[in-house]
Amino acid sequence: MTYEESSQLMNDMTFRGRIKVSALKYADSLLVAAVAVSTHSALVRWAGRCFQQPDQVAMELQPPVVMDAAVQSAGAAITDAALQGAVETVVGKVA
């Protein structure tokens, strides 16, 4: 994607909605799973915030998700499964 295309996708409300759904799905899996990793408490805090403020979290995630390699190669046409992976990767970096 060009910088202009990336910038447009960073402000696309439909794409933000897809990120929100993906983030909520990931947050749910974090809260129901017994994960034994050193970052688990940070991820649980992030998941709780995601459930409380899904629109805010999606807005914050959108720019780094757009910069993920999978999104850069597919753009808005990225599959839901690939977008899920991109969102989870970004959450791992920011949580």
Give 5-39 pLDDT, tens digit per residue. Answer: 999 999 999 999 999 999 999 999 988 876 555 55
Q: Please count the structural domains in the chain.
A: 1
**DSSP helix/strand/coil, 12:** coil
Q: CB under 8 Å to 10, separation ≥6 — which residues?
A: 62, 63, 66
Instruction: Decide: 9 and 15 in contact? Cβ < 8 Å.
Output: yes
Stretch 48-66: mean pLDDT, rounded? 97
The range of the structural domain enclosing residue 59 comes to 3-94
pLDDT at 33: 73
